[in-house]
Structure 1
Amino acid sequence: MEVRLQKIIAGSGLASRRKAEEWIAAGRVTVNGKVVTELGTKVDPERAHIKVDGKHLSSAQPYVYLLLNKPKNVMSTLNDPGGRPTVKDYLRGISVRVFPVGRLDFDSEGLMLLTNHGDLAQTLLHPRYHVPKTYLIKVKQVVTDDHIRQLEQGVQLEDGMTGPAVVKKVKKAKLNSWLEITIREGRQHQVKRMMEAVGHPVLKLTRIKMGPLSLGDLGAGEFRYLTDREANALRELAEHKLATEEAAEKQVPRPKKRISRVGWARSKKAKVV
């Protein structure tokens, strides 16, 4: 069965489909010894000998998915110009180059996904797909039911109204409260700003869920590979989001072509005659 060349390259885990298209257009890909620059080219992956920059595609690294419990006071990037610790420091023994899917604040902790699957990462991060993320937070003072209703209905921030959140009380003390809050947006410092807006500054924030993934009992600074079931659930989530978006785009009606009054009158007159 023949498949588009860029799809085969992306499926190998070597790059995203968009990057594969750039490589093809730049003449960096050969099929059976011949340079291919046409993006619509289809080949049989079982028979074709595909090379990228002279290296056989079969030697490309497979997709890798890691779940890390980022500790507090660690950057969620791979490098930091200021010399602060980063998540890369906790990926000992990982030879494949993976990238964080999203970020957590320096003083926040919890679940982070890292992968070399570029297309999947882009889908999970895109604001239009609204992948749910759940946080366990400790806030100042006792949160009232009125404040929870505000969060669930949406809070006005300086960059606009937030979408509705799902909020659950976990426990409370005399001076603070613990909540679980789930949001589907990805604005910068969003949970902290939402809680500030209702008068309850965040004292501690831990991300415990992202889509189908859960932090579980993974210790701070520890990581693990996703199970096959978790990886499949992530791919299915991304595919569902993309399919839903494509279906919605197809249902958008095209604007009708306007007919001028003169043209309409002429056509009407012609019919009468």
Structure 2
Amino acid sequence: MERLQKVIAHAGIASRRKAEELILEGRVTVNGKVVKELGIKVTGSDRIEVSGIPLEREEPVYFLFYKPRGVISSVKDEKGRKVVTDYFEQIKQRIYPVGRLDFDTSGALLLTNDGEFANLLMHPSSEVEKVYVAKVKGIPVKEKLRSLEKGVHLEDGKTAPARVKLLSLDKKKQTSIIELAIHEGRNRQVRRMFEAIGHPVLKLKRERYGTLTLHGLNSGDFKELTPHEVKQLRTLAMGKK
């Protein structure tokens, strides 16, 4: 479910602030009833009219994007930096990223115009696993890798159990390549986890999101998800609900 003013704004009728004014003025109906409360939430099946005109909602679309490093996970940036939606200029729907990848992190990122789907995936109880490959400074001993598996203490609490695999190491350069699989999505979590064990990240890429991989995509490419892929993600996200 999404807030009514957000749905109106997303349909391109008005800005969210203007949509709030329309609601307060009694010019919006939901299923034939006038709504004057800003907190109300609606579903995709609700009939919404603004000033007597039915609201036409966009068809939901879902994309997997191979985000390059140096791109902002947003629809706009006040500093004029490149954002992920710059790669989707030919897409007419008003899409936005599901969660985010840091400016200096590359890899799998989902974009959609389906707010319910996005909220489901970003919910703290979501069971969607994300797999990262990190190049870190130094060569961690087994005990440190085990601590990542059990969970490490960060300033916002202990992390959930993770899967960890040492892929390769370079004794000369004193660096390691490590695969880390988590289902949480805290801010800069992977980087903070490696910092907590004393091995800061030098380079980071998200290789997999749920059942989706970057296979066949180059940096900056995207593909539309199939209905089956969308259903798989929904099922994974609802694992413990």
CA contact (8 A) 2:127 2:236 kept: no
Three-state SS of the structure 1 residue aligned to 2:204 is strand
Q: In structure 2, what residue type is equivalent to 1:92? A: E
TM alignment of 1:152-171, pairs within 5 A: 152-171=149-168
Aligned to 2:105: 108
Give the alignment's Cα RMSD to 1 decimal: 2.9
Q: CA deviation at 1:93?
A: 0.5
Q: Higher relative contact order at CA 8 Å, sep ≥6: structure 1 or structure 2?
A: 2
Q: Is 1:134 the counterpart of 2:131 in the alignment?
A: yes
Give unmatched runs, 5+ long, in structure 1.
1-5, 40-44, 246-273
Paired letter, 1:99? Y
Q: Which has the higher helix share?
A: 1
Aligned amino acid, residue 229 of structure 2 = E
Residue 102 of structure 1 deviates from its aligned partner by: 0.4
- Whether the aligned pair in 2 keeps the contact of 1:14 and 1:62 (CA below 8 Å) is no
1:176: Cα distance to partner?
1.1
Contact 2:121 2:234 in 1 (8 A): no
Deviations 1:153-211 (A, max 9, x none): 11122222111110112222222111110112222111111111111110111111122
- Change in Cα spacing, 1:37 to 1:85, as seen in structure 2 (3 Å) is closer
Taking structure 1 as the reference length, what is the TM-score of the superposition? 0.70
Correspondence 1:62 to 2:59: yes
Q: TM-score scaled by structure 2? A: 0.79
- Counterpart CA distance in 2 for 1:202 and 1:217 is 26
Count how many residue pairs are aligned between Structure 1 and Structure 2. 216
Distance 2:89 2:64 in 1: 13
Q: 1:143 to 1:62 in 2, by over 3 A?
A: same
Distance in 2, Cα, partners of 1:30 & 1:154: 46
Aligned partners of 1:129 and 1:234: how far apart in 2? 10
- Pairing 1:76-225 to 2, within 5 Å after superposition: 76-174=73-171, 175-225=174-224
One-letter amino acid matched to 2:72: M
* Residues 128 and 183, structure 2, Cα contact 8 Å, conserved in 1: yes
Partners of 1:52 and 1:214 in 2: CA distance? 40
Structure 2: distance between partners of 1:55 and 1:172: 63
Query: Unaligned regions of 5+ residues in structure 2, if any?
Result: none
d(CA) in 2 for partners of 1:155 and 1:172?
22
Letter in 2 for 1:172: L
Q: Distance in 2 between matches of 1:111 and 1:131?
A: 13
In 2: Cα distance, 1:129 partner to 1:112 partner: 16
Q: 1:199 to 1:51 in 2, by over 3 A?
A: closer
- Structure 1 position 148, deviation (Å): 1.1
CA offsets 1:108-158 (integer angstroms, 9 cap, x no match): 111110111101111111113343211011111222212111111111222
Deviation at 1:61, TM superposition (A): 1.6
- Are 2:70 and 2:104, in contact at CA under 8 Å, matched by a contact in 1? yes
CA distance in 2 between partners of 1:186 and 1:51 (Å): 33
Aligned-residue sequence identity (percent) comes to 43
